[in-house]
Amino acid sequence: MTDNQQLDEFGLIAELLAPLADNEAAEKLSDDAARVSVPDGQELVISADVLVAGVHFPENADGGLVAKRTIACNMSDLAAKGAKPHGCLLMLGVAPHWDSGWLADFVDAFGDSLKTYEMQLWGGDTVRATQGFAGLTVHGLVPHGEMLTRSGAQDGDDVYVTGTIGDAFLDLLRGGAAYADPQPPLAFGQALRGLANATIDVSDGLMADLDHLCVASGGVMEISAEHVPLSEAGKVHGDIKAMVSGGDDLQIAFTAAPQKAEALVKLAATLDIKLTRIGKFSSSPRKQALLLAADGTEIILERRGFRHF
Amino acid sequence: MTDNQQLDEFGLIAELLAPLADNEAAEKLSDDAARVSVPDGQELVISADVLVAGVHFPENADGGLVAKRTIACNMSDLAAKGAKPHGCLLMLGVAPHWDSGWLADFVDAFGDSLKTYEMQLWGGDTVRATQGFAGLTVHGLVPHGEMLTRSGAQDGDDVYVTGTIGDAFLDLLRGGAAYADPQPPLAFGQALRGLANATIDVSDGLMADLDHLCVASGGVMEISAEHVPLSEAGKVHGDIKAMVSGGDDLQIAFTAAPQKAEALVKLAATLDIKLTRIGKFSSSPRKQALLLAADGTEIILERRGFRHF
């Protein structure tokens, strides 16, 4: 219970978030539910991610960073599913030190991201919390039956990854754009429909996520450590084990048949996406991704990813 | 980051929640997104509510109570929209004292509620939190264009409310089923399509929610205090001001044309729902609900509802 002096749910929604929900489904949050139509022949891809202060972002993170990372983590899920962003609902747990300035930064950045990703705000809930959090349920659209999944990898597929790996991990140590303002490859993900056999977003850590894909697809991957794409900063840092398990990359890893290689290279060039072939997938009861050194020996990892729990 | 001894996101999801997601959209949470089709001629009604420990439920609440109230608060939104539950995503912030026993209670009750409401679990996210929270994004179905809203009240409409008012407030003081295991009138809400002109769920407090309806519909309500339905316990407590502002009732308030009265009485009898006419709605620039004593004087309320923020 709060008194009228304090910022309340209705005040916050009315003043800050409502202008962002200027769409037919939400009607500027005038009601407490959105009505959403799905175009003929399309289906929804729905995912949810919640980020908690002190776990997923620093306690003292500014509102802009929290907004950008909350949306980007969820956009990364949609990118790996080949989905086009449609709309979202925001659950915001407002920490005591998130004052009106913090909230204004959050809403500014949130609004910018909605525009960038061409996504509608449909609603949500705002509550008081001692530990701040931001959760988003995102809805994307794909043509019926065409959602990309983790489970379709075929024996003999090549394994690819977009962008560079490990930069978000390095940025957490140094501060930088890969962590604070990631750019999930959404258009590339949508173009992978019909080209990729299995996809996953790299969020827990490259090797942990490739493991998930191997489990879902029933096979083993041989990943060449020397081919894992690193930025210049990553090469300088040099610890490949930290890079491939650092997490938060928000890139797409996927498998595709070797005969798709040419089309993939062309697509990446067209969309200005860095694309690297990093290994092979084989059907196998050993459902795991192996990181191999240049001499073919396995590089044993003590940790394969950042556990979000 | 957690070590392998600790319960992690994947372990928790795999062991406890996955069996609840045995549906085509989520495929037992084997991927990190659900694919959802919307039947021809239907549209989605989407709403989100998050409940935080120490704000929306006691810090020491058991898992069953948190699960039931989280789902019920969201079902109440769907009930007031005339929607049939379809599927949901759960965001769970697991407090340090929510041990495996607590989580098992939560999942048991959550699973029971999914069955009760014939709703699918499509996914979500589980994170570690110092302050526990449970957020749900729910999706209901309505025939295209038939979602009930707050904004359709017509001059001369009667105002009704289901159930009794104030029991959840009393139960919070005493412990009891109206708070711990509320039963939002979902079937009744669906049957209101075509009968009611404007609807809202009573969650903040009767008068606060009627205010929202008056604002959205552009009118004034005269609510008869002596007609507000109270339980025997409510009558004994006797403080009408506390009852109409206590919140958490999870009933439906609505307006309907006087000529619908007979159909509404029949419907309530068929569905075994207590239904009470409590006042009148008139179009007016004074967008507010007034609580009137038997002699017609206004009962002034210092507080009109529980603010969820």
List pLDDT tens digits, range B81-116. 999 999 999 999 999 999 888 999 999 999 999 999
Nearest CA in chain B to A12: B309
- Each residue of B255-272: pLDDT tens digit? 999 999 999 999 999 999
**Do residue A108 and residue A182 come from a single domain?**
no
Chain A residues in contact with B45 (beta carbon < 8 A): 33-36
CATH code of the domain covering residue A119: 3.30.1330.10
| Cβ pair B63, B104 in contact under 8 A | yes
**Do residue A278 and residue A169 come from a single domain?**
yes
- Judge whether A199 lies within some domain: yes
Instruction: Give the DSSP letter string of B124-155.
Output: EEEEE-SS-EEEEEEEEEEETT----SS---T
Sign of the torsion formed by the C-alpha atoms of B64, B66, B67 and B71? positive
pLDDT score of A298: 96
State pTM to two decimals: 0.91
- Judge whether A20 lies within some domain: no
**Do residue B128 and residue B168 come from a single domain?**
no
CATH code of the domain covering residue B238: 3.90.650.10
Inform me whether the pLDDT recorded for A3 exceeds 70.
no
Between these two residues, A17 and B147, which has the higher pLDDT value? B147
pLDDT score of A163: 96
pLDDT score of B5: 38
Domain endpoint, select from B120, B143, B166: B143
Q: Comparing C-alpha atoms, which of B136, B21, B131 is closest to residue B90?
A: B136
- Judge whether B307 lies within some domain: no
Of B7, B12, B43, the CB nearest to A35: B43
CB contact under 8 A, A130 and B131: yes
Inform me whether the pLDDT recorded for B2 exceeds 50.
no
Compute the nearest-CA separation of A295 from chain B (Å).
30
Domain endpoint, select from B82, B108, B143: B143
Nearest CA in chain A to B151: A31
pLDDT score of B190: 98
**Do residue A267 and residue A169 come from a single domain?**
yes
CB contact under 8 A, A124 and B94: no
pLDDT score of B303: 84
Between these two residues, B1 and B69, which has the higher pLDDT value? B69
Q: Which of residues 140-199 of A touch B (CB under 8 A)?
A: 140, 142, 144, 147, 149-151
pLDDT > 70 fraction of chain A, expressed in percent and rounded: 93
| Cβ pair B57, B142 in contact under 8 A | no
Tokens of B123: 């996914």
pLDDT > 90 fraction of chain B, expressed in percent and rounded: 76
CB contact under 8 A, B309 and A8: yes
- Decide if A216 touches B, using CB distance below 8 A: yes
Beta strands in A175-243 (DSSP E): 198-202, 219-224
Tokens of A70: 């909350």
pLDDT score of A2: 38
- Each residue of B229-248: pLDDT tens digit? 999 999 998 899 999 998 88
Backbone angles phi, psi at A95, to 5 degrees: -70, 155
Cβ-proximal residues to B40 (8 Å cutoff; 6+ apart), any chain: none
Q: How far is CA A115 from CA A70, A85, A87, A112, in A?
A: 15, 11, 11, 5
CB contact under 8 A, B125 and A56: no
Match 């998130």 to its residue by tokens: A98
pLDDT score of B179: 76
Q: Comparing C-alpha atoms, which of A222, A280, A209 is closest to residue A251?
A: A209
- Decide if B49 touches A, using CB distance below 8 A: yes
Mean pLDDT of B129-146: 96
- Judge whether A308 lies within some domain: no
Q: Would you give the DSSP letter of residue A167? A: H
Rounded CA-CA distance B88/B228 in Å is 33
pLDDT score of A19: 85
Q: How far is CA A214 from CA A185, A286, B145, B251, in A?
A: 22, 8, 44, 48
- Report the b/e string of B53-75 with b at 16+ CB within 10 A: bbbbbeeebbbbbbbbbbbbbbb
pLDDT score of B4: 39
- Judge whether B184 lies within some domain: yes
**Do residue B181 and residue B287 come from a single domain?**
yes
Inform me whether the pLDDT recorded for A276 exceeds 70.
yes
- Decide if B307 touches A, using CB distance below 8 A: yes
| Spatial strand order in the sheet of A219-224 | A198-202, A251-256, A158-162, A275-283, A219-224, A288-292
Number of H helices, E strands in chain B: 10, 11
| Cβ pair A283, A183 in contact under 8 A | no
Average pLDDT of every residue of chain A: 90
- Each residue of B34-87: pLDDT tens digit? 999 999 999 999 999 999 999 889 999 999 999 999 999 999 999 999 999 999
- Judge whether B203 lies within some domain: yes
CB contact under 8 A, A89 and B123: no
Tokens of A172: 């957490």
Inform me whether the pLDDT recorded for A139 exceeds 60.
yes
Compute the nearest-CA separation of A139 from chain B (Å).
9
Inform me whether the pLDDT recorded for A10 exceeds 90.
no
**Do residue B187 and residue B215 come from a single domain?**
yes
pLDDT score of B27: 75
- Judge whether B309 lies within some domain: no
List the single range of A126-130, A176-180, B86-90 with lowest mean pLDDT. A176-180
**Do residue A109 and residue A224 come from a single domain?**
no
Mean pLDDT of A62-91: 96
List the single range of A43-52, A151-160, B299-308 with lowest mean pLDDT. B299-308
Expressed as residue numbers, the domain containing A276 is 158-292
Going by pLDDT thresholds of 50, 70 and 90, the confidence category of residue A124 is: very high
pLDDT score of B8: 56
Tokens of B229: 């339905």
| Cβ pair A127, B309 in contact under 8 A | yes
pLDDT score of B90: 96
Inform me whether the pLDDT recorded for A293 exceeds 90.
yes
- Judge whether B245 lies within some domain: yes
Mean pLDDT of B191-214: 96
Sign of the torsion formed by the C-alpha atoms of B50, B46, A100 and A106? positive
Report which secondary-structure segment, H or E, holds B14.
none
Domain endpoint, select from B86, B118, B143: B143
pLDDT score of B287: 96
**Do residue B61 and residue B122 come from a single domain?**
yes
- Domains identified in chain B, total number: 2
| Cβ pair A70, A180 in contact under 8 A | no
pLDDT score of B24: 84
Average pLDDT of every residue of chain B: 90
- Decide if B35 touches A, using CB distance below 8 A: yes
**Do residue B112 and residue B51 come from a single domain?**
yes
pLDDT score of B12: 66
Mean pLDDT of A69-87: 96
Letter for the amino acid at B57? F
CA Rg value for chain A = 20
**Do residue B175 and residue B84 come from a single domain?**
no
A279: three-class secondary structure by DSSP: strand
Mean pLDDT of B283-298: 96
